[in-house]
Structure 1
Amino acid sequence: MKQTFFDSNYKTPQWLKDKLSRRQLLKSAAGSSALAVIPYSQLSFAQKKDIESTLNIEPWLTLDAVLNHLLPASNKGISAKDIRATYYLYQLVHQQPTATDEIEFIYKGVGWLNGYSQKKTTLPFISLSNTEKETVLRDISRSSAGDNWIAMLIINIYEAMLSPPSYGGNPDGVGWKWLEHQAGFPLPKAGERYFELPKRSQISVHNQVDSKTSRTITPSHDLLAKKLSVKRRSKA
């Protein structure tokens, strides 16, 4: 049987429980302030074009639409676009040591969302009006898998807003400025981020399986740098 958000056999996996447990901490941090990966601005023209071409096809078009619906542009604060939430998520999937099952859940959710949207409206999610998008997201949020998927994307929005710009989001500290937050010092630069530290960088050699959770960890390496390097060698 084809899986959907409404699969009665779905159970929240442990890795997602661990990630969701950080949501309250992130919400508290944001609330108290308001009441690799290379920053996008430092990418070369070729790198930007390469990324833009990826983000302009599925599943990234749908993910971008969802993120921007969850944190839309307004005159009250910053938006998902302002904090580059989609680019942050791209970095999470392509360049950080992210668990394979987490990446698969992100992608599967896009398929399930569009499947439900087309069943309900005959249109994919990105073609819906704002009102229709709200209805569809509220519908899937009533399922365990749908609620988990939306919550995971909201966490990534918080992370894009609060993390140092070197992780892909929060350009020029726009999230911190909005929250009137003073970031710690020194801030990590490319080459000094948590997944590039010596103990972490060992997983760039080959896939590593976490013995406690049986999760396969995606290697931490710069896919764009590798791709560009191959192009330079071929030209030589």
Structure 2
Amino acid sequence: MNPLASPAATAELAAWRSALVSRRRFLLAAAGGSLTALFPLAAPGKVRRGDPWMVIAAVQDMLFPAEADAPGAQEIHALAYLRGVLAEPRHDREEGRLVLKGAGWLDDLSRQRQRAGFLALAEDRREQLLHEIAASEQGEHWLATLLFYLCEALLTDPVYGGNPNGIGWAWLGHTPGFPRPTTDKRLKGWS
């Protein structure tokens, strides 16, 4: 019998993959902190109905939920930041397509498995689908890309559209370097 196909190895791999998706686990481990809960649900951001950005906003809120003492995706303006980055003319167009297609893939999978769009699902069903897509190479890449931009939105200078008023810096106890960028240094994707 292949030891990698054993039930114990399969369970260990599943636990490892679920740990990959936990943004709190990642951020706090990177900051030297302790581990916290996985995937609490927050309300989606303000976006138009039928727009793939609604799905992206909901996933961002699940990956980076607000807590009593910590900002979440909405508070750090993660969706606006991501949209600004993807609108930047020098940004990799393939990555932008991946972000948008991933939302479509997730919504299609939701309709196939749950007979309803992702946004119509209860929290536990959404979590189940995110765990399912995280098990695929493309899904894991999509979620990792979203996590990357969530971290950027948390840590960027507010002039670039994320981390308003330094909320992420305050949460992490970070003092930004000087000189700070001025508004004339904004990328073209931000208005």
Separation in 2, partners of 1:187, 1:100: 28
Query: 1:20-39 alignment to 2 at 5 Å?
Result: 27=27, 31-32=31-32
Partner AA of 1:166 in structure 2: V
Partner AA of 1:119 in structure 2: Q
Partner AA of 2:173 in structure 1: E
Query: 1:16-95 alignment to 2 at 5 Å?
Result: 27=27, 31-32=31-32, 55-57=47-49, 58-95=51-88
Partner AA of 1:177 in structure 2: A
* Change in CA separation of 1:123 and 1:30 when aligned onto 2, cut-off 3 Å: same
Partner AA of 1:108 in structure 2: K
Partner AA of 1:135 in structure 2: Q
| Unaligned residue ranges in structure 1 (runs of 5+) | 1-25, 36-51, 196-220, 225-236
For the 8 Å contact 1:163–1:170, the answer to whether it is kept is yes
- The alignment's TM-score, normalised by the length of structure 1, stands at 0.60
CA RMSD, Structure 1 to Structure 2 (Å): 2.4
For the 8 Å contact 1:30–1:179, the answer to whether it is kept is no
Specify which of 136, 146, 149 is matched with residue 153 of structure 1: 146
Larger Rg: 1
- The alignment's TM-score, normalised by the length of structure 2, stands at 0.74
Q: Does 1:142 align with 2:135?
A: yes
Post-superposition offset of 1:162: 0.4
For the 8 Å contact 1:63–1:110, the answer to whether it is kept is yes
| Unaligned residue ranges in structure 2 (runs of 5+) | 1-25, 35-45
For the 8 Å contact 1:161–1:169, the answer to whether it is kept is yes
* Percent of residue pairs identical: 33
Separation in 2, partners of 1:29, 1:97: 32
Post-superposition offset of 1:97: 2.3
Q: Say how many residue pairs are matched.
A: 155
**Which segments of structure 1 move beyond 6 Å, counting only runs of 4 or more?**
none
Post-superposition offset of 1:190: 1.9
For the 8 Å contact 1:84–1:171, the answer to whether it is kept is yes
For the 8 Å contact 1:140–1:147, the answer to whether it is kept is yes
